[in-house]
Amino acid sequence: MIRLLILGGTSEARRLAGALVDAPGLEVVSSLAGRVRTPALPPGAVRIGGFGGPEGLAQWLRDNGIDAVIDATHPFAARMTAGAAAACAATGVPLLVLRRPGWTAGPGDDWHWVDSLSEAAARLPALGSRVFLTTGRQDLAAFARLDLWFLVRSVDPPEPPVPARMRVLLDRGPFRVEEERALIREYRIEVLVTKDSGGAMTAAKLTAAREAGIPVVVQRRPPLPAGVTAVPTAKDALAWIRALRGAGQRE
């Protein structure tokens, strides 16, 4: 029996848990950080909440007899990924990082890449005064002092400090292109700010921005910790698990 911990919260993590939850010889536990009030739960056993840093995670792996970890957290959950890498290195537990591919600009796109949201905020005044901000509820402090108007979309209400002039939309993807077109028209959006999250659930805004001819400020992903193995799809993660199970059977 292999005990697998999936660090989740993404659609890829939910699909992976669904594919593995009834697999013979495998026991799966999904862990969610608990930052969203009503998270979309994966199939199977679920724990919600933090571990108390890398040391806490390492101890949890030992206490629960975990044989392998798949980090399928959000591409911008850099602290969680670093903690998983440190905990797995300390315990000798194999770690795989599942990261969906990022977005790529195409013909007609006017993308401006930045390394931080502070850099994004510095770029905005030259790009437009009405901003569609889709960077999450915890990342508004960088924009709080700008004298611009913001349409802020997030799953839960944003945390202060926040911009003085803003409208909040509480919503969860997937989003359709026609819906994003309507938002851009209704709120007279002049610039979109987003993170390079990748995936299809929230990509429609990029198509709508291209059609509207408005610029997009895109935050680059943080780098992965040195030495970790990463794959782009749940199919690849399933192959990794099968290889682990085969190695265990041979032993």
pLDDT, one tens digit per residue, over 85-140 is 999 999 999 999 999 999 999 999 999 999 999 999 999 999 999 999 999 888 89
pLDDT at position 250 over 50: no
The b/e string for 98-116 (b: 16+ C-beta within 10 A; e otherwise) is bbbeebeeeeeeebbebee
Percent with pLDDT over 90 in the chain: 84
Higher model confidence: residue 66 or residue 39? 66
Pick the CATH number of 2-100+222-250 from 3.40.250.10, 3.30.2320.80, 3.40.50.720, 3.40.50.300: 3.40.50.720
- CATH for 111-219 is 3.40.50
pLDDT, one tens digit per residue, over 210-219 is 999 999 999 9
Q: Where in the chain is the domain with CATH 3.40.50.720?
A: 2-100+222-250
pTM: 0.89
* Beta-bridge partners for 30: 6, 46
pLDDT, one tens digit per residue, over 11-38 is 899 999 999 988 888 999 999 987 777 7
pLDDT at position 40 over 90: no
